[in-house]
Amino acid sequence: MPSADEVRALVGKNLAHVQERIAQACHAAGRAPETVRLIGVSKYVGPDETAELVAAGCCDLGESRPQQLWDKAETLTERGCQVRWRMIGHLQRNKVARTVHYADAIDSVDSRRLLAAIDAAAQAIGKQQQVLLEVNISGDQEKHGFLPGEVGQVVSEMATTWPNVVLRGLMGMASLVGGEAAARQNFADLRQLREQIVSQTGVELPELSMGMSGDFEAAIAEGSTLVRIGSALWAGL
């Protein structure tokens, strides 16, 4: 096992490398690097390593399991870490209330029933909960998310049906097959869907959460504003 000093050095090096790749991808796409926010995915490591990432300057963190988000949020708060937590994995309704307590944003909203549960939990604590709608843009059967054809209607319903939920944009994942070309097409499809919905509804959707460690350059090329990076930050641990 690496020592604490080795972990600190490695995490800092990995973060700097990922940030440089983001900057290069933005330059290639004609975008400013500040238009893309890095979400550090901490599911691969414990609270000690996560705290080192925060200390290195990555304060936007994503967790795919509610229990891990709760536990790490409590632990890192006790250590004085200032973190903006995002729930990025499938969320069951029986875990919504506690997740709403900790999460700055829930990026994986995949059903009207989940929206209703989030709205009720947010109302109970006087919160406006920021969310993204997850879209199954690739059509993979094993993925969660709204079908593309459903999203426009859900967006139209948001303000009046779930008033304690603030919609910030869309989230999607590339297909598990097809490589970079398929991934870039999936990302382009989600961007075009966002543009279509904005045009039809007049609802602003500023965020597009697309791209992970293996495909975030393609996502940036297609307009991603949030990239969810895990394994590239923890390489070597």
Say how far apart CA 80 and CA 152 lie, in whole Å: 41
pLDDT at 226 exceeding the cut of 90:
yes
pTM given for the model: 0.96
- Report d(CA 131, CA 129) in Å as an integer: 6
Indicate if the pLDDT at residue 33 is higher than 80: yes
Per DSSP, helices labelled H in the chain are 4-29, 47-55, 66-78, 96-102, 112-124, 148-161, 179-201, 216-221
Closest of 103, 111, 153, 148 to residue 129, by C-alpha: 103
- Is the pLDDT at 140 greater than 90? The verdict is no
Q: Which residues pair with 68 in a beta bridge?
A: none
pLDDT at position 179: 83
Q: How many folded domains does the chain comprise? A: 1
Q: Is the pLDDT of residue 102 over 80?
A: yes
Mean pLDDT of 154-165: 96
The enclosing domain of 80 has a CATH number of 3.20.20.10
How far apart (Å, rounded) are the C-alpha atoms in residues 170 and 187? Answer: 11
pLDDT band at 141 (very low <50, low <70, confident <90, very high): confident
What's the pLDDT at 134? 98
- How many percent of the chain have pLDDT more than 70? 100
- Structural domain that includes position 48: 4-233
pLDDT at 64 over 90: yes
Give mean pLDDT, residues 137-145.
Answer: 84
Which helix (H) or strand (E) segment holds residue 106: the answer is strand 105-109
pLDDT in tens, 177-224: 878 889 999 999 999 999 999 999 999 999 999 999 999 999 999 999
Higher pLDDT, 96 or 175: 96
- Looking at residue 54, what is its pLDDT? 97
